[in-house]
């Protein structure tokens, strides 16, 4: 029975890693569409690189990487690592900047589409 | 009796083990051969990629991998800390608000990259038996190869975009009842994109 548990464990582990690897590979090679991921989609400067999107991307990847490292280190303790209380504020702030930029482009910037 | 239960448990476990592995392998295989298409995994209906969707995707993988790491180590399903749920909530709410802002503007439901292929001229009159050169531009991939096709009506077009109108009909059509031809141009660079030109035969 222990052998079966080990096999299932490896199956799920390999599946999750292979799926994450496949998605990452397809994102990096362009098979998953990333067109205009970092571009403004509204307003007069539509199509330009958007700093608020770039900062959100950096914050997201940084937070994700840090959390996986924490989880790997804390796995034996039997619980998911708690994130520092400043994190929701940082991620909330980052998302707020992103939404603020989007709202500004929508409601205040000159739109060439109107 | 205990021995029988042990054998039953072993057989059931083996079958489940095979099923889990089989499903996992099948999903990965279908992705690799292209039957499960992930190309629009983080795309919006406009064709542009969405930052909010990307963030949700990253967080989903992070939580799934972290959860699995802990389950493997302890063989128990752990509690998910409130702050982690808060982070997921922020991400999900941000996605909703972001889409609300974007789709409140008609410009938000069209691609920021504009039209992928443009034919010129888009509308023209051509005499029977005459020739007309059409050109196509692919603004987001200059120099990309294009394909020409007479979608409806008479006449022929070669792959350089040179349209040759049919010979005059006999007997001639009554005045004001000129025939039309519709020309379509496509490009492999953007498989979903096309543009049309309408020819009025005079």
Report domain extents, chain A: 1-34, 36-114
Maximum CA extent, chain B: 97
| Nearest neighbour of B14 by CB, restricted to A4, A53, A85 | A4
**Separation between Cα atoms, residue B46 and residue B192, nearest integer Å:** 12
Is B170 within 8 Å of chain A by CB?
A: no
pLDDT digits (tens, 9 = 90+) for B55-113: 988 988 888 888 888 887 777 778 888 888 888 888 889 888 888 887 787 766 665 55
Chain B positions touching A54 (Cβ under 8 A) are: none
The verdict on B51 and B97 lying in the same domain is yes
**Separation between Cα atoms, residue B196 and residue B186, nearest integer Å:** 9
The verdict on B18 and B57 lying in the same domain is no
Q: Which band of pLDDT confidence, cut at 50, 70 and 90, is reported for residue B28? A: very high
pLDDT digits (tens, 9 = 90+) for B15-24: 988 998 899 9
The verdict on B123 and B190 lying in the same domain is yes
Q: What is the mean pLDDT of chain A?
A: 83
What is the pTM assigned to this prediction?
Answer: 0.64
The verdict on B95 and B125 lying in the same domain is no
The verdict on B107 and B130 lying in the same domain is no
**Separation between Cα atoms, residue B128 and residue B123, nearest integer Å:** 16
Give me the pLDDT at residue B29, please.
Answer: 93
- Structural domain range at position B71: 43-112
- Domain tally, chain B: 3
Q: Does ipTM top 0.85?
A: no
Report the candidate in A43, A37, A39 with the shortest Cα–Cα distance to residue B53: A37
The verdict on B22 and B53 lying in the same domain is no
Distances in Å between the alpha carbon of B53 and those of A50, B42, B92?
Answer: 16, 5, 9
Boundary-marking domain end, from B71, B90, B112: B112
For B24, which residue in chain A has the nearest alpha carbon?
Answer: A15
Q: Which band of pLDDT confidence, cut at 50, 70 and 90, is reported for residue A112? A: very low
The string of DSSP codes covering B112-144 is TT--S-EEESSEEEE-TT-EEE-EEE-TTSTT-
């Amino acid at each position: 029975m222990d052998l079966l548990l080990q096999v299932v464990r490896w199956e799920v582990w390999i599946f999750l890693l292979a799926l994450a690897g496949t998605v990452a590979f397809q994102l990096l090679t362009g098979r998953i569409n990333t067109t205009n991921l970092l571009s403004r989609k509204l307003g007069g400067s539509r199509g330009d690189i958007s700093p608020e999107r770039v900062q959100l991307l950096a914050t997201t990847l940084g937070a994700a990487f840090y959390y996986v490292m924490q989880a790997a280190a804390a796995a034996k303790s039997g619980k998911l690592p708690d994130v520092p209380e400043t994190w929701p504020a940082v991620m909330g702030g980052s998302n707020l900047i992103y939404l603020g930029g989007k709202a500004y482009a929508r409601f205040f910037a000159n739109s060439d589409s109107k | 009796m205990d021995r029988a239960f042990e054998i039953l448990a072993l057989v059931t476990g083996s079958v489940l083990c095979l099923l889990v592995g089989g499903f996992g392998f099948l999903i990965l295989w279908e992705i690799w051969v292209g039957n499960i298409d992930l190309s629009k995994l983080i795309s919006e209906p406009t064709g542009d990629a969405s930052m909010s969707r990307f963030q949700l995707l990253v967080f989903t993988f992070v939580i799934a991998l972290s959860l699995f790491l802990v389950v493997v180590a302890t063989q128990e399903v752990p509690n998910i800390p409130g702050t982690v749920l808060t982070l997921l909530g922020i991400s999900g709410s941000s996605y909703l608000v972001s889409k609300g802002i974007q789709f409140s503007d008609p410009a938000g439901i069209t691609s920021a990259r504009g039209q992928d292929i443009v034919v010129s001229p888009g509308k023209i009159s051509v005499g029977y038996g005459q020739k007309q050169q059409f050109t196509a531009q692919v603004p987001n991939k200059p120099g990309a190869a294009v394909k020409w096709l007479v979608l409806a009506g008479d006449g022929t077009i070669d792959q350089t975009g040179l349209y040759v109108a049919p010979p005059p009909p006999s007997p001639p059509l009554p005045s004001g009842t000129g025939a039309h031809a519709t020309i379509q141009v496509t490009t492999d660079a953007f498989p979903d994109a096309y543009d049309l030109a309408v020819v009025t035969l005079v």
